[in-house]
Each structure stands twice: as structure tokens, then as C-alpha cells.
Amino acid sequence: MKPIVFFDTESNLKGNKVFDIGSIKSNGSIFHSNSLIDFTEFLNNTEFICGHNIIIHDLNLIQKALRNMSLNHLKFIDTLFLSPLLFPARPYHHLLKDDKIQTDELNNPVNDSQKAKELFYDEVAAFTELEELLKQIYFGLLKDQKEFRFFFEYLSYKPPETTPLKVLILNYFQSKFCSAAPIEKAMTRHPVELAYCLALINSADRYSITPPWVLLNFPEVERIMYLLRNKPCLTGCNYCNNALDANKGLNDFFGFESFRTFNGEPLQEEAVKAAIENKSLLAVFPTGGGKSLTFQVPALMSGQNTKGLTVVISPLQSLMKDQVDNLEKIGITEAVTINGLLDPIERGKSFERVENGSASLLYISPESLRSRTIERLLLGRNVVRFVIDEAHCFSAWGQDFRVDYQYIGDFIKQLTQKKSLPEPIPVSCFTATAKQKVIEDIQQYFREKLSLVLEIFSTNAFRTNLQYKVFESGDEEQKYNHVRMLIESKRCPTIIYVSRTRKAYKLAERLIRDGFNAKPYHGKMDIREKTENQNAFMAGKVQIMVATSAFGMGINKKDIGMVIHYEISDSLENYVQEAGRAGRDKNISADCYVLFN
């Protein structure tokens, strides 16, 4: 091995003055001082100098001294830039933690120099073990780049230039990305970004991701990965036909052979294909119409293809937990939620899973977008799409207008700018009921905020497995007897809707006294009691849920056979939502009753 010096500096908070320098030579000699002049003397007879994150940080602090001492001939190698190239797969190199080296001692530049030395020789070994064709590809892309050129010189690596670089890439990565991807343009304009993308594609680990510091310093990585692996070509190549096929994704992740149709129209499949093609869309599907699967299939496909993260924004904490749990039941563990119902340990685990790439679906509330912590979390991942559930909340004409929804567009715009992305991140909006004015408001909002044109997928299909009936009830006692009769006639999971929190408790207590298995639920209930009651109902331990309208939005319990409105909803839209929680399994017949005085 050639002689090489490893070094690290410590500077003041402003980063403009060195107060400590540590260095180790490949022969074991150690330097530790705050004198730049003494350090330059330590560097005599040295050709290569190496450290971690020195191009961005340390070199700016010491270059003036090096020039004054006529040491401009030194050749710099930065282990930071080599690490995503040579250790792209989880578990990553044991010394790495984002753009920092893991150290045993705090602010000890000699110790950090030793760690940089260990990392560098591991990188040398990793490059040596690469297949020759991959070595040639990395050399062809990076030989003239300041972050890499001296690494190849240190290794004395220079392959014979016999095969064009594009041919090498296509031969090695055959069918691993779209054959129509603009490889030549990326090779010329963004060789470092292309190399990082190819390293990640070549990684065998499903959940390996691009480090956040790479996304920050090389924002074109996200665009190139999209062009390589997430933009279906018109002609259809081997990669696109396999990795970007909606029906194959549906079958691979959920085991279904075909998508749901509405009155014979394949709207669900069309909406999924639009998302795969990176279009923005608004889907108006009935409650129980499969809207969750419509965004989950593209999200899981993007997670697999580009290591991308889909962010699902919903005002319903119960929906978040319910959907994460339902995915886990079928073996899909790539969804997490961050919300106020989580304890600190659960919250920390969710953050960790987003950060380390093991999550490709993140459920959060619109209020969470105002959190700096959430913003930093999303800046560190390749965010491929925002999904907005209950999209009617954007519109003052909708039944559930929410001010926090108005901030969503601003957040996406800011995130796009901070990531230096050339185009806005696409969105998918979903709602079960939307008047024409509401649809127009949603379209106008995203057109004005983000210059996005939403493609509309709307159905007026009826739920044919739901039966609706109205019973006239003269007084409270007659009403209660009607409820008892209905429950006894069809013993099945049942939701009874009331309009007041006190009524939820009183009716549940009376049903329990009469031998029925019931629990109350309302929005002002203690979080622990609310969660326990919901979980008991979802698990089948409780048959009857007596609830206000706070219960049920997003709850995907397929075997609910009856919804009884003990008191009528405050709007037709809310009634459609609440009654539609029955019969989510289209193979069962469900009843929707209103007790009317």
C-alpha cells in the first residue's frame, strides 16, 4: 500500500478557526496539536491525505496553510463520498452513521483519524472485491470527479478503455432499470448521482436507501432514480413490464388477481396506473370502495423500485392504526404511523423505521406538517408521493372543512424547494363523497399552489350489498326496543350511531345490563379507553359499538353486518359515510337502519 496520512480537525462553532488537529500516518506515526504549521511539517514527503467529510469541511480550514507551505500537490481522498458507493446495503458499514463516523470518544481528532483510516482500508477492500465490470463502470463515471479521482490513483486502477461506458452499464444492469432511461445524459451531466443510483440498484437489500446527506448534496439522485426505475416507458421494456405492472403489483403484495370495478368501469386499476405513471389524481370512491388499496399498491411498488417513501395525510388517527395493523396481518410490514396516540417508545421506533428505509408508507396528520422534526425526517428520504385522504376537507363547501388542510400545499412546495427538486412531488387525493363544487375546489387548490393538474377518477356506483330501511319510533322506549329487536334478529358486528357523548354511555350501559356485549365510543373519551374499546371491537371481542360520528372513518372492519342510526346524522354526506361502514366485504349482505321520530 502507498503511504497516506489520515487527519481530522476540530473547529469553533462558526467553523472558521481550527483549534485542534489529529493525524495518523499509514506507518502508525501520530500527530496531535493545534498548530497548522506543525501539521504541514508532519505532512512532508506525503502524496495522499485522507479523512471523512474533509472536502466539505476540513479542507476549507487548512488549505490556506497548505498553500503557504507549498503543499498544494497533496491528493485528497474523502471516505464520506466513497461510503454510499461501496457500502450501499444494510447493514451499512459499522463505522458510518449518516455523514458522521461512529466514534468511541467525543471530539477527539486523533481517534477520528484512526476511524477514517479503518474505514478507508475497508473501502479499498470493498472496491477490490467488486466484479471487474462494476469497477470499470465506477471508474468511467467518476475518474474525473474531485471526490473520487485520487482514490483510483491511489489504487493505480485504470482499466483498458475498450468498451463504451454506456454499453458497460447496460450489460451489467440488464433489466434492472428501464431501457429507455436517458443514461447518456446522466453520464454526462450527473455522473456522481448516476453512480450512487447504480450502487443502490445493485444492492441486494430490499430496504437500503440513499443517505440523507447524499440527497442534500446531490438532489438529482432522486430524479435519476425516478427516470431509471419509476417512469414506465411507452414501448414497454423487460424492466417496466415486470416492475411497473399494476396487476403484478396487486398480486405480489395483496394476492388479488384483478382490481375492483364500479358499474363495469375499471376505475381502481386506472387510478393505480395513473399513480405508477407519476400523475397527480383525485379519486372519488364510495366508502368501502377500495381507496386504501388504490394508493397502497403504487406506494409499495415505489418502495421496492426506488426505495421511495409515500406520505399519507389523514385527519383520522384510528385510520392510521387500522391500516398499519391490517397490512401487518397480511405480512406487509412497510407501513408506520406517527401520531399522538403513540407512546414515546413507539414514536421513536416509527421515526427509526422511516430513517433506516424499512418503511415505505408513512401515515401522519395534517397538523404534523408544521413540525420541524417531521420536515427533517422527510428531507432525509426520497418522498415519491403525498396521499391526502378525506380530501373534501380542503373545501369550504365540504362537510368537514379543516384549516390545517390549507397548509398541505405550502408544505409540499417548501419541501420541494429545500430538496432542490425540478418538479413538484405528485399527489393523490381521495374522498368518498364530493359535490362538483368540492371537486373543483380541490383541483383549483393544487393548480394554484403547486401547478399540479389532478386527473379525476369518479364513480357514482351504489353499494349493492347494503339494504336500507327506516323504522318510525314513537318514543325513547319504543326506539330502544327496536334496537334490541334488530340486534337479536341478526347477531353480527354492529355500530349504533348516536349524536351525543352522554347518549353513547347511557345506551351502551343499558345494552350491557340486558346481556349484550357493547362498548361506548366518542371523540372526547380518554385516549386509552377509546383505543381499548376500538381494539376490542376490531378484534371481535365486542359485538356492538355505540358511538358518535367520531367512530368509524377509515375503520376497515369487513364483517360489520349492521349499522343502526339511533339518532340521524347531521348531513346526508355524513350518513352515507357512516352507513357505508357496513358490508365492507362485498360477499356479505349488510343492513343500514334509521330509527326515526
Cα 181 to Cα 161: distance, rounded to the nearest angstrom = 24
pLDDT at 225: 96
Considering only CA atoms, which of 245, 224, 222, 138 is closest in space to residue 181? Answer: 224
The residue with cell 371481542 is: 541
Render pLDDT for 104-147 as a digit per residue (tens, 0 to 9). 655 689 999 999 999 999 999 999 999 999 999 999 999 999 99
pLDDT at 558: 83
Q: DSSP class of residue 556?
A: -
Q: Is the distance from CB of 203 to CB of 368 less than 8 angstroms?
A: no
Q: In the chain, where are the structural domains located?
A: 4-129, 245-458, 466-596
Which residue numbers in the chain have pLDDT < 70? 13-16, 68-71, 103-107, 318, 396-401, 434, 460-462, 552-555
Two domains, one topology: 245-458 and 466-596: yes
- Measured distance CA(158)–CA(99) in Å, rounded: 28
Q: What is the CATH number of domain 466-596?
A: 3.40.50.300
Q: What is the pLDDT of residue 570?
A: 79
Fold (CATH) for 4-129: Nucleotidyltransferase; domain 5 (3.30.420)
Rounded to the nearest 10 degrees, the angle between the axes of helix 408-418 and helix 436-450 is 30
Q: Would you say domain 245-458 falls under CATH 3.40.50.11540? A: no
Q: Which helix (H) or strand (E) holds 410?
A: helix 408-418
Residue 362, beta-bridge partner list:
311, 336
